[in-house]
Amino acid sequence: MAHPEGGDAVVEFREVTRRYGGVLAVDRVSFAIRRGEFFSILGPSGCGKTTTLRLLAGFEVPDAGEVRLFGEVVNRKRPYERELAMVFQSYALFPHLTVARNVAFGLEQRRRPAAEVRARVQRALELVRLDPGTFARRLPAELSGGQRQRVALARALVLEPRVLLLDEPLGALDLKLRKEMQLELKQLNQQTGATFVYVTHDQEEALAMSDRIAVMSEARVAQLGSPAEVYENPRTAFVADFIGEANFLPGTVTGPAPGAPALVEVALPAGGAIRVPAAPGLVAGAPVQVAIRPEWHDLFRPGEAPPAENALPGTVRDVIYLGETMHVLVHLADGAAVRVALRNEGQLAKPLPWRAGDPCVVAWLPEDCQVLEAP
Amino acid sequence: MTRRGLLARLAGRPALRTGLLLGPGALWLVCFFVVPLAILLAYSVMRRGAYGGVEPGFTLEHYARVLDPLYLGILRRTVVLSLATTAICFLLGYPTALVIARSGRWRNLLLFLVVLPFWTSALVRTYAMIFLLRDTGFLNAALRALGVLREPLHLLYTEGAVLAGLVYGALPFMVLPIYASLEKLDPVLLEAAEGLGARPWARFRRVTLPLTLPGVAAGSLLVFIPTLGAFVVPDLLGGAKQMMLGNLVQNQFGPARNWPFGSAASFLVMSLVLAAVLLWLRRRDRGALAREGP
């Protein structure tokens, strides 16, 4: 159902607030989720992401604001009155029912005929790649963690919900299985056309699966955007730090960069200056904080850095082997630590030419500086 | 030998340790349960002594006599009353336990109130019920004062009075195990049911009740078994007309001075209890094996 303001939104939060006692769990949160979208709510524990999902599911009632589902305000509707399905972090399978009966539960509540229930349960189990012949008659206690996860997913998907809520559904799985399930969930989202609302604290997971991510911090949405937007264009220090890794440089704007109208010059407290993209607020005297991703830096011998790039001298402190990348820990002249990520081209065949104690220059393009909003 | 030395030796000898842990309790049970039971079994097949006690000999006449219609009537009443007591305790106890389990910080106070009657003797509480139920008792007086009644209701010495007394005494034994199983019930399962479209009653019927059945079963056994052998309540609230097996046994060892028959009746009660428990265990095992189809 289209809504004049909601447009294509199937889910909409308008200034939603939820308090526990005096503590704000969700503070004036607003966002709209589009039809068919894979939407993640990402944040550290205690940021309000699970409460947000529970407000949407109907397990919590907002203290203020509006929760809209398909254009309709559902603030006070009970969960069984909402056309949603939810996958819980702990799976919440009914221990006294077989896999088939667990999956059939929601259809039975909707009073579907037995033959239809049987057929749909079968299809749902096949959809999550559980062989009905092997698993239908097992009890949850007889399943592995990954299998339980699939049953929980089938139990929700069998209802063919227009919106599927997932509360950290992969948290209890080991890394390999988690990666596998991430792909499968993404495929299910495309295959079923359902809108997925996915809560996680795992930034890699959110980046890998989502169409859009709402990053939450301290009961508020800190930033909302595509994975590329929140990673490459973090607006606050929190987002820059929580998603991926970042080096932070505080400084003061001194004025337009000579010979580069699109850039302004920022003086660093320990001396030296860098150039960052010009923006309306960046006038002389303004304090700024700049974030740079480790992989946007490059490392040079003193005097060899390209003149168009920002360049800060320092000393290599440590080289860390991470498989895909090598992190070089550099201490700048003022003692600040900067991480530089370099591609690992094979330490056995082509070892990195940096050793602890080597003098070096950390360089990067001025355009790669993310000027952060004051928190 | 030092204490430390003793413990060290025990640690190395699990059989001895188990024996020491189990021994005192086992000895107690052998002395005060197995031995009297054996004596009772022996009595039940011996001849009746003229002034109580037994005389040597072997006979099965006492068991045959238990099957007399008079006694079968008592047996029937006992079983019916015990089943009714169990059923009423369940109907009263489950909602009580449900409220207590959901009452947050009032929980401990409510649990305390449930067990409060145990602070006085069952005998005193039963006598108190006599004062409540008799023709000139509190209930009748109140109803007459309110103008509901002209003539007093005869409440005492009826099956209803016995049932009321039995339920009153047994109710906490139903509430506590059900409460314990509700307490263990993971609240996220209730949310899952609600999220899948289950309204409150469906949620209760499909999730809460099935998952707390072990508590119901434990409570039912704790109510049913002692009620089968009850004798104080039927004696005081039922009088001679509402005799239960417990009264029969008490009578045979007391006024009737027929110890062998009393023993045979005791074994009858015991075999009933045993049968009830075995039936329940079998049903439970079958339930665990049975798999509902897709």
A303-360 tens-digit pLDDT: 899 988 999 999 999 999 998 899 999 999 888 899 999 998 888 888 888 889 999 9
Q: How far apart are the first and last CA of chain B?
A: 66
Q: What percent of chain A has pLDDT over 70?
A: 98
- Rounded Cα–Cα distance for residues B51 and B46 (Å): 14
- On chain A, the residues whose CB falls within 8 A of the CB of B198 are 80, 105, 109
- Mean pLDDT for the stretch of residues A97-116: 96
- Rounded Cα–Cα distance for residues A95 and A98 (Å): 8
The type of residue at A371 is V
The predicted structure's pLDDT at residue A6: 44
- Mean pLDDT for the stretch of residues B219-224: 93
Pair A157, A124: CB distance under 8 Å: yes
- Rounded Cα–Cα distance for residues A293 and A247 (Å): 6
The predicted structure's pLDDT at residue B239: 82
- Mean pLDDT for the stretch of residues B148-175: 90
Answer yes or no: do B191 and A159 touch at CB < 8 A. no
- Rounded Cα–Cα distance for residues A297 and A230 (Å): 19
**Complex confidence, ipTM:** 0.84
The length of chain B is 294
The type of residue at B23 is G
Task: Region of B104 please: left (phi>0), alpha (psi -120 to 50) or beta.
Answer: left
The predicted structure's pLDDT at residue B292: 43
**B124-160: per-residue pLDDT in tens?**
888 989 988 888 888 888 888 888 888 888 888 888 9
Of A95, A109, A136, which is closest to B196 when you measure between CB atoms? A109
Cα dihedral across residues B29, B30, B31, B33: positive or negative: positive
Partnered with residue A40 across adjacent β-strands are A198, A213
Answer yes or no: do A105 and B198 touch at CB < 8 A. yes
Instruction: Provide Rg for chain B, Cα atoms.
Output: 24
More confident residue, B191 or B15: B191
The predicted structure's pLDDT at residue B269: 82
**B259-283: per-residue pLDDT in tens?**
999 999 998 888 888 888 888 888 7
The predicted structure's pLDDT at residue A72: 93
**A133-176: per-residue pLDDT in tens?**
999 999 999 999 999 999 999 999 999 999 999 999 998 888 88
pLDDT beyond 60 at B293: no
pLDDT beyond 60 at A1: no
The predicted structure's pLDDT at residue B87: 97
Helix (H, G, I), strand (E, B) or coil at B8: helix
More confident residue, A69 or B281: A69
Helix (H, G, I), strand (E, B) or coil at A328: strand
Q: Which DSSP state fits B205?
A: I
Of A90, A106, A155, which is closest to B188 when you measure between CB atoms? A90
Of A84, A137, A155, which is closest to B291 when you measure between CB atoms? A137
The predicted structure's pLDDT at residue B3: 59
Helix (H, G, I), strand (E, B) or coil at B41: helix
pLDDT beyond 50 at A5: no
Give me the total of CB pairs closer than 8 Å, taking one residue from chain A and one from chain B: 77
Q: Tokens representing B279?
A: 């039936």
More confident residue, B268 or B294: B268
Neighbours of A21 (CB within 10 A): 5
Average pLDDT of chain B is: 88
- On chain A, the residues whose CB falls within 8 A of the CB of B192 are 86, 88, 92-94
The length of chain A is 375
Q: Which of A89-103, B79-93, B168-182, B243-257 has the lowest mean pLDDT?
A: B243-257
φ, ψ dihedrals at B199, nearest 5°: -75, 165
Q: Which of A213-227, B198-212, B227-241 has the lowest mean pLDDT?
A: B227-241
The predicted structure's pLDDT at residue A2: 39
Q: Tokens representing A356?
A: 């602890």
The predicted structure's pLDDT at residue B140: 86
The predicted structure's pLDDT at residue A3: 41
The label of the residue with tokens 């049975």 reads: B290
- In chain A, the residue whose alpha carbon lies closest to the alpha carbon of B211 is A96
Q: Which of A96-100, A299-303, A334-338 has the lowest mean pLDDT?
A: A334-338
Distances from the Cα of B125 to the Cα of A18, B114, B121, B130, B161, angstroms: 51, 15, 6, 9, 13
Largest CA-CA distance found in chain B, in angstroms, rounded: 81
Of A95, A109, A156, which is closest to B198 when you measure between CB atoms? A109
Sheet holding A273-277, edge to edge: A273-277, A263-267, A247-256, A287-292, A370-372
- In chain B, the residue whose alpha carbon lies closest to the alpha carbon of A87 is B192
The predicted structure's pLDDT at residue A288: 92
Answer yes or no: do B192 and A88 touch at CB < 8 A. yes
Q: What percent of chain A has pLDDT over 90?
A: 78
CA B112 to chain centre: 20
Answer yes or no: do B294 and A121 touch at CB < 8 A. yes
Q: pLDDT confidence of B2, banded at 50, 70, 90?
A: low
- On chain A, the residues whose CB falls within 8 A of the CB of B187 are none
The predicted structure's pLDDT at residue A281: 84
Q: pLDDT confidence of A7, banded at 50, 70, 90?
A: low
The predicted structure's pLDDT at residue B4: 64
Pair A154, A124: CB distance under 8 Å: yes
Q: pLDDT confidence of A4, banded at 50, 70, 90?
A: very low
Q: Tokens representing B292?
A: 């509902």
